[in-house]
């Protein structure tokens, strides 16, 4: 939660900020499209150094060397977190420290320098406050905050980039799926796989996302909301959907695929596990077969962008 004191300190130091309470957009029809906001945060560091102090600037394009590590070899990570406006006008962030830790773990896997937890959280706060007029009214959505860590130094041979950029931008969003809050129709794709053991499926590498576009495009073309992926060895165990983790409910037991390096360790996933245990459910993190998923009492998905979404149908091998 950002205090009024922190907000006013920032206001005093940055006279360029715009102060109207709300931007002039249709708050009742927010989807998950990009809305250009006012400011973004940038910090840089060279290999083996710590990140310099970052700064806010006007939102805009980024200049990159054509030989940047991220462009040539996909050396990049992203995060997603949200800021909400409370009924009392206060601004709340959803566990940004967890995103910071996840970025550090991902950076280690991708041989990148990463910002400290404190710098990450501070950057998210600064971006949220600077773009406050884009935080939707209570109940209308949230400000989706997208931290990026990318190899921006030029590199021709395959090796870590000599420079990294930590960048944070934001956009107001509503529901992720065009279905709104209606139940999702998911398609199980047994041809494409999202990740394999030993790969980078467990971290939020940008390289995990383009490869699922083909499966998503095909499924969306047939009217499905998203794709569920199976493990690449047995082609039998459920991994996750393109944009979210999966849970099934059977009686008083909630199960979700265990994170074994091929499944993203979702922060909403973690929160739901904790809350479900607190309210008396038994929660199991284990291998979940597709047959078991098809026979569940209930299925739901979780993610920062998706929040918690109920599943109305699953189509697998012509079975629904």
Check binding of 243 to ligand COI (CB under 6 A).
Answer: yes
Using CA atoms, how far apart are residues 180 and 182, in angstroms rounded to an integer?
A: 6
Using CA atoms, how far apart are residues 122 and 128, in angstroms rounded to an integer?
A: 10
> Which of 231, 165, 244 shows the shortest CA–CA distance to 204?
244
CB-wise, 133 or 146, nearer to ligand COI? 146
Out of 54, 76, 80, 96, the only residue in the binding site for ligand COI (CB under 6 A) is 80
Q: What are phi and psi of 286, to 5 degrees?
A: -165, 180
Check binding of 142 to ligand COI (CB under 6 A).
Answer: no
Q: Which two tokens stand for residue 199?
A: 């790969």
CB-wise, 161 or 304, nearer to ligand COI? 304
Check binding of 303 to ligand COI (CB under 6 A).
Answer: yes
Stretch that binds ligand COI, among 88-96, 218-226, 274-282, 299-307 (CB under 6 A): 299-307
Stretch that binds ligand COI, among 86-94, 232-240, 248-256, 301-309 (CB under 6 A): 301-309
Check binding of 305 to ligand COI (CB under 6 A).
Answer: yes
CB-wise, 45 or 227, nearer to ligand COI? 227
CA 194 to chain centre: 16
Q: Let me know if 204 is a catalytic residue.
A: yes
Stretch that binds ligand COI, among 37-45, 164-172, 213-221, 298-306 (CB under 6 A): 298-306
Q: Which of 204, 220, 235, 270 is catalytic?
A: 204
> Which of 168, 161, 91, 84 shows the shortest CA–CA distance to 124?
168
Q: How far is the CB of 97 from ligand COI (least distance, A)?
A: 16
Check binding of 225 to ligand COI (CB under 6 A).
Answer: no
Check binding of 205 to ligand COI (CB under 6 A).
Answer: no
What are the catalytic residues?
204
Chain contacts with ligand COI (rule: CB under 6 A) = 80, 243, 303-306
């Amino acid at each position: 939660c950002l205090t009024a004191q922190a907000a006013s300190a920032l206001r005093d130091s940055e006279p360029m900020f715009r102060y109207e309470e709300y931007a002039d957009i249709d708050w009742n029809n927010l989807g998950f499209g990009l809305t250009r906001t006012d400011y973004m945060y940038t910090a840089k560091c060279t290999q083996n150094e710590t990140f310099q102090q970052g700064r806010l600037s006007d939102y805009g394009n980024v200049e990159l060397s054509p030989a940047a590590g991220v462009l040539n070899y996909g050396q990049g990570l992203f995060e997603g977190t949200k800021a909400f406006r409370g009924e009392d006008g206060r601004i709340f962030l959803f566990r940004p420290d967890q995103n910071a830790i996840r970025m550090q773990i991902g950076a280690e896997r991708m041989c990148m320098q990463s910002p400290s937890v404190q710098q990450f959280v501070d950057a998210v706060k600064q971006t949220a406050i600077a773009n406050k007029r884009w935080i939707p009214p209570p109940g209308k959505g949230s400000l989706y905050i997208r931290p990026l860590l990318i190899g921006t130094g030029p590199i021709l041979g395959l090796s870590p980039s000599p420079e990294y950029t930590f960048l944070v931008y934001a956009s107001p969003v509503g529901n992720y799926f065009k279905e709104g809050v209606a139940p999702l129709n998911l398609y199980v794709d047994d041809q494409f796989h999202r990740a394999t053991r030993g790969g980078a499926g467990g971290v939020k590498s940008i390289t995990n996302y383009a490869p699922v576009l083909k499966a998503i495009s095909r499924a969306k073309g047939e009217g499905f909301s998203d794709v569920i992926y199976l493990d690449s060895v047995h082609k039998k165990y459920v991994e996750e959907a393109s944009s979210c983790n999966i849970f099934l409910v059977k009686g008083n037991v909630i199960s979700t695929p265990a994170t074994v390096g091929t499944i993203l360790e979702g922060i909403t996933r973690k929160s739901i596990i904790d809350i479900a245990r607190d309210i008396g459910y038994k929660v199991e993190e284990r291998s979940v077969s597709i047959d078991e998923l098809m026979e569940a009492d209930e299925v739901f998905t979780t993610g920062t962008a998706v929040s918690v979404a109920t599943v109305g149908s699953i189509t697998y091998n012509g079975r629904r």
